[in-house]
A = this chain, B = another copy of it.
Amino acid sequence: MNIATIIKDNDLQSLFTEGNFGIEKEGLRTDPSNQLAMTNHPHVLGSRVYHPYLLTDFSEAQPEIVTPVQPSLKLTFNWLEALHDVLHRSMNQDEYLWPNSMPNLLPDEDEIPIVRYNDPDAIRYRQHLADSYGKKKQTISGIHFNFSFSETFIEGVFQKQTTYQTKTELQNELYIKLSANFLKYEWLLLYLFGASPYADSGFYDSKSGRLLKKPTDYVRSLRNSSFGYHNHDEVIVNYDSVDSYVKDIENFVETGHLSEEREFYGNARLRGKGDSLRKMLESGVQYVEFRSFDLNPLDRLGISYAQGRFYHLFFLYMIWIENKATRDEIIEGQEKMLNTADENPHEVSAYQKEALNILEGMLSMVNDLSLNDEFEELIHKAQEKFYHPEETLSARVADQIEEQGYLTFNRNLGLEFKEFSTERPYVLNGFEDMELSTQLLMYDAIELGVEVEVFDRADHFLKLSHENIVEYVRNGNMTSKDTTISHFIMENKTVTKKILAEAGFNVPGGGEYHSIKEALDHYSNYQNQPIVVKPKSTNYGIGISVFKKYPDKTSYKEALDIAFQEDDTVLVEEFVPGTEYRFFVLNDEVGAVLLRVPANVIGDGKSTIHELIDHKNDDPLRGADHRAPMAYIEKGAIETLMLKEQDLTFDSIPEKGKTVYLRENSNISTGGDSIDFTKEMDESYNAIAVGIAKALDVKVTGIDLIIPDYKIPSTEENPGYSCIEANFNPAMNMHAYVTKGKGRRLTKGILKMLFPELVQQQKQQIQETNK
């Protein structure tokens, strides 16, 4: 079976380039003095017993990020970014993640803390590793890269070949070939991306008795050299077939060379379903785990996307080539690996010629697959590095260590990467194109240890699951806890008002009209009242006219004309004077109260309005296109007009302390300020907001109340409020980060509603740990 021929003859190119990807990345938590952190794994990250993404490796201070398996490398990187955000923000404020594979300043071997959680098996296994390899060695961190072909590709190939009787046979053969050839050629990747040229001298001072000759100069990869942790030399596994692979490992366990199957540290581990190797014999190989990758300290994720794509291309090439590496070729390849690891980063590879041949082969595969120019570019860059060793990662890292010193170099990068994750706390990097509340919810779910799947990214559709609870959430706020009809009730302002009025709540009086004539006929109904004329379905205040005094008939008609342009039904409502507050009701409680103030600047007696706006817009909480909790204040026609009405221009200099408004409407989306009022609001209004939500039979809603004085309690005789709207899609992000006051993390409330037991469990755990 010639796989390349089958692919080419049967147009399987695009399927071939698909696949499933997962990345595991370890790293060390580091304290301000660049020492291994002695603190506990962050409490907020739920329990490591079930956390799907954020675990610990050998040491308590060695968090491990595990992305879920994704059907594209891009998505895997999205997850890697997101998980870094969650980890960074959960850690103690003064800690950072050490970006290098080789460790930070380690304490004495005995003091390196093994993981501290309540799983005797985990502790026992790690104690064995400490005894067998030494604790210091176990702190070396790296990247594991999991890869499988797409099911459809394997199916496609299976249909077109005659060699294998079953799909499992074919599948096993593909993964065996991939692994064997990888082990034969992986030195090429190490040359390009090895990135652990140096270690702090403390690392070499190991009690394990396995001291080797400390290198006199930088190398390509200490982690992949004899200083790294590998299985003991006698553990050599056969990649002829899955059968021989499994039997060999089982044998080493039986003979005591390995304590258990998972101690096999080969750079290409075959993986089946579940943990047991035996099972893999039945179900076939599902994916391969590649383990030889150093952390790339120059990239905030420990691996760059270009690097990942190159690895993928390399994997493809490993099965594209005709032959499968023999046992001898693998052993030879592993020798080349060790040699490459030990090479000086600035030296030309000992295997330059062979490397260039391989790259040439990869290039021809890229052409055969009609992949785009970017892939060629990746290979061209690799080729160049074989001529220019100073451009390799190890050389660049070594240069910077030489220049700044090992500790400073790593610390600066570690802090910079942490800063990237924390500077815009409302963003979940990797998913920053999604609606903000969904990003917050994903963040909180990941933190809690809930499994998150993005079911439809453009539609902000998440699947959240933990054990046997499965919940789907859209826009962060639409869940299984609300009813279909309550959604449509809130969508329909007239229906909402009717229900609330019948339930005894105050709503503005008014009428619904289907033509200008009908509305004009009812002009006198609103006599001497301030009124609002608005399209039945309003959005962001479009088409609304507010008359704080009863308008003359001409103005009334003009307002109708405007409103009827937006909708074929128009509401005329009593205008209720007072201040509008947004009550976010969540599961029968008020989660947050917000006051929205129209876009404004406050004079300092020196700056122009122009400058004051720019200054206010510098706040990282402000952004464009709903990509930040608050919006930029614009300098458009409406703002110009608003200033003109106050006899001002953008060049005016308001006196110190004077507030200048740039908008009439208070929407956050037009630059308004958000002020948290959760504590300030009189409790009686909270009860009303909750009552309204109950009357509408809804668990998640944004209730807009007009309240003349929030300090005067609402009573039966003097209700002191009017409900103008119940929002079926209320923004949670608006409450999370505010201009003034305390942010309210409503997304946690959503999780508490959906996973009450899990949240309770996490709370107890934090309390216990804090005891």
Choose among B152, B156, B483 the residue that contacts A481 (Cβ–Cβ < 8 A). B483
Q: Is A461 part of the binding interface, using a Cβ–Cβ cutoff of 8 Å?
A: yes
Interface string of A469-497 (1 = CB under 8 A from B): 00111100011111111111100101100
Known A14-B524, A524-B14, A524-B15; contact A485-B495, beta-carbon cutoff 8 A? no
Known A13-B524, A14-B525, A524-B11; contact A455-B498, beta-carbon cutoff 8 A? yes
Q: Is A697 part of the binding interface, using a Cβ–Cβ cutoff of 8 Å?
A: yes
Name the interface residues of A503-536: CB closer than 8 Å to any CB of B.
Answer: 509, 514, 521-525, 527
Q: Which residues of B contact A11 (CB under 8 A)?
A: 523-524, 527
CA distance A492 to B522 in the complex (A): 42
Q: Which residues of B contact A607 (CB under 8 A)?
A: none
Q: Is A555 part of the binding interface, using a Cβ–Cβ cutoff of 8 Å?
A: no
Q: Is A384 part of the binding interface, using a Cβ–Cβ cutoff of 8 Å?
A: no
Q: Which residue of B lies closest to A520 (CB)?
A: B14
Q: Is A49 part of the binding interface, using a Cβ–Cβ cutoff of 8 Å?
A: no
Structural contact, B527 and A492, CB atoms closer than 8 A: no
CA distance A481 to B525 in the complex (A): 39
Q: Which residues of B contact A15 (CB under 8 A)?
A: 524-525
Q: Is A383 part of the binding interface, using a Cβ–Cβ cutoff of 8 Å?
A: no
Known A485-B473, A485-B478, A485-B479; contact A527-B459, beta-carbon cutoff 8 A? no
Interface string of A575-612 (1 = CB under 8 A from B): 00000000000000000000000000000000000000
Structural contact, B479 and A483, CB atoms closer than 8 A: yes
CA distance A514 to B479 in the complex (A): 26
Structural contact, B488 and A474, CB atoms closer than 8 A: yes
Structural contact, B484 and A461, CB atoms closer than 8 A: no
Q: Which residue of B lies closest to A480 (CB)?
A: B483
Report, as a range, how many residues of chain A touch the other chain. 35 or more
CA distance A102 to B72 in the complex (A): 83
Structural contact, B522 and A14, CB atoms closer than 8 A: yes
Which of A474, A481, A486, A494 has the most chain B CB atoms inside 10 A of its CB? A474
Q: Which residues of B contact A514 (CB under 8 A)?
A: 458
Q: Is A10 part of the binding interface, using a Cβ–Cβ cutoff of 8 Å?
A: yes
Which of A10, A473, A485 has the most chain B CB atoms inside 10 A of its CB? A485
Q: Is A456 part of the binding interface, using a Cβ–Cβ cutoff of 8 Å?
A: yes
Q: Which residue of B lies closest to A488 (CB)?
A: B474
Structural contact, B484 and A486, CB atoms closer than 8 A: yes
Choose among B14, B455, B482 the residue that contacts A483 (Cβ–Cβ < 8 A). B482
CA distance A499 to B465 in the complex (A): 13
The majority secondary structure among interface residues of chain A is mixed
CA distance A484 to B728 in the complex (A): 10
Q: Is A500 part of the binding interface, using a Cβ–Cβ cutoff of 8 Å?
A: no
Q: Which residues of B contact A472 (CB under 8 A)?
A: 485, 489, 495, 499
CA distance A455 to B496 in the complex (A): 10
CA distance A484 to B481 in the complex (A): 8
Q: Is A665 part of the binding interface, using a Cβ–Cβ cutoff of 8 Å?
A: no
Structural contact, A455 and B495, CB atoms closer than 8 A: yes
Structural contact, B479 and A484, CB atoms closer than 8 A: yes
Structural contact, B494 and A456, CB atoms closer than 8 A: yes
Q: Is A12 part of the binding interface, using a Cβ–Cβ cutoff of 8 Å?
A: yes
CA distance A166 to B484 in the complex (A): 45
Q: Which residues of B contact A478 (CB under 8 A)?
A: 484-485, 488
Q: Which residue of B lies closest to A478 (CB)?
A: B484
CA distance A757 to B492 in the complex (A): 30
Q: Which residue of B lies closest to A155 (CB)?
A: B509
CA distance A486 to B455 in the complex (A): 14
How near does chain B come to A488, taking the closest CB pair, in angstroms? Answer: 5
Q: Is A241 part of the binding interface, using a Cβ–Cβ cutoff of 8 Å?
A: no
Interface string of A440-459 (1 = CB under 8 A from B): 00000000000000011011
Interface string of A163-191 (1 = CB under 8 A from B): 00000000000000000000000000000
Q: Is A339 part of the binding interface, using a Cβ–Cβ cutoff of 8 Å?
A: no
CA distance A480 to B696 in the complex (A): 11
Structural contact, B483 and A152, CB atoms closer than 8 A: no
CA distance A525 to B10 in the complex (A): 10
CA distance A478 to B487 in the complex (A): 10
Structural contact, B461 and A495, CB atoms closer than 8 A: yes
Q: Is A569 part of the binding interface, using a Cβ–Cβ cutoff of 8 Å?
A: yes
CA distance A514 to B472 in the complex (A): 23
Structural contact, A480 and B697, CB atoms closer than 8 A: yes
Q: Which residues of B contact A495 (CB under 8 A)?
A: 455-456, 459, 461, 472
CA distance A512 to B209 in the complex (A): 57
Interface string of A12-37 (1 = CB under 8 A from B): 11110000000000000000000000
Q: Which residue of B lies closest to A698 (CB)?
A: B484
Q: Which residues of B contact A471 (CB under 8 A)?
A: 485
Closest A-B pairs by Cβ, 10 of them: A11-B524, A482-B484, A480-B483, A484-B487, A474-B488, A478-B484, A455-B495, A472-B485, A480-B485, A456-B495
- Can you name 15 A-B residue pairings with CB atoms under 8 Å? A10-B527, A11-B524, A11-B527, A152-B509, A455-B495, A455-B499, A458-B569, A459-B495, A461-B492, A461-B495, A463-B499, A473-B485, A478-B485, A480-B483, A487-B487
| Given A472-B499, A484-B487, 17 other A-B residues pairs in contact with their CB atoms under 8 A | A10-B524, A11-B523, A14-B521, A14-B523, A14-B524, A14-B525, A15-B524, A455-B495, A455-B498, A459-B492, A461-B492, A474-B488, A478-B485, A480-B485, A482-B483, A482-B484, A482-B485
